[in-house]
């Protein structure tokens, strides 16, 4: 899982409630801005990435090597872990957790701004739809 994909998770959570009711947006802002929720998300990612880095990839490498004997997978030891294959950074999971904390805080700020601008954006969308209907009707005359 790439750093970009993990960083995008809070942004996806932010995009989902845009058409929702105002109280749902308020709940999203509250959750993303809550230090306890931020910490829980970061701890979850840290634990998951830590577990992934300990997973053995030797059997998968063996299967890849059988399909493509000239691939680098042929040189991976049978008991190798994902962490060993990717460079064995012992602090990778913790850094990912820190990135999730920062990204979630920023997503909270962005969600708060979107909530503040939602009425204006809704009015703009209504105006654009009305303009489109006017232009469509004018083109049919």
pLDDT score, position 1? 47
pTM of the model: 0.57
Contact 46, 91 (CB under 8 A): no
pLDDT at residue 91, rounded to an integer: 85
At 5-63, the pLDDT tens digits run: 555 555 555 555 555 556 777 788 888 888 999 899 999 999 999 899 899 999 999 99
Residues 108 and 32 sit within 8 Å (Cβ to Cβ): yes
Q: Is the pLDDT of residue 75 over 70?
A: yes
Q: Of residues 15 and 79, which shows the higher confidence score?
A: 79
Indicate if the pLDDT at residue 65 is higher than 90. Answer: yes
Residue 83's pLDDT band (cuts 50, 70, 90): confident
pLDDT above 70: residue 140: yes
Contact of 28 with 104, CB cutoff 8 Å = no
Residue 37 Cα distances to 30, 42, 47, angstroms:
9, 9, 15
Residue 59 has what pLDDT? Answer: 93
| CA–CA distance, 21 with 109 (Å, rounded to integer) | 19
How confident is the model at residue 141, as a pLDDT? Answer: 82
């Amino acid at each position: 899982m790439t750093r970009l994909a993990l960083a995008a998770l809070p942004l996806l959570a932010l995009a989902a409630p845009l058409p929702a009711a105002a109280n749902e947006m308020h709940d999203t802002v509250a959750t993303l801005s809550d230090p306890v929720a931020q910490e829980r998300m970061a701890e979850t990612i840290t634990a998951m990435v830590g577990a992934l880095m300990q997973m053995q990839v030797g059997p998968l490498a063996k299967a890849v090597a059988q399909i493509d004997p000239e691939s680098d997978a042929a040189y991976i030891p049978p008991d190798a872990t994902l962490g060993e294959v990717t460079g064995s950074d012992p602090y990778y999971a913790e850094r990912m957790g820190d990135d999730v904390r920062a990204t979630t805080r920023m997503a909270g700020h962005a969600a708060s701004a979107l909530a503040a601008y939602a009425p204006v954006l809704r009015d703009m969308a209504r105006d654009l739809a009305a303009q489109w209907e006017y232009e469509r009707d004018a083109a049919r005359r």
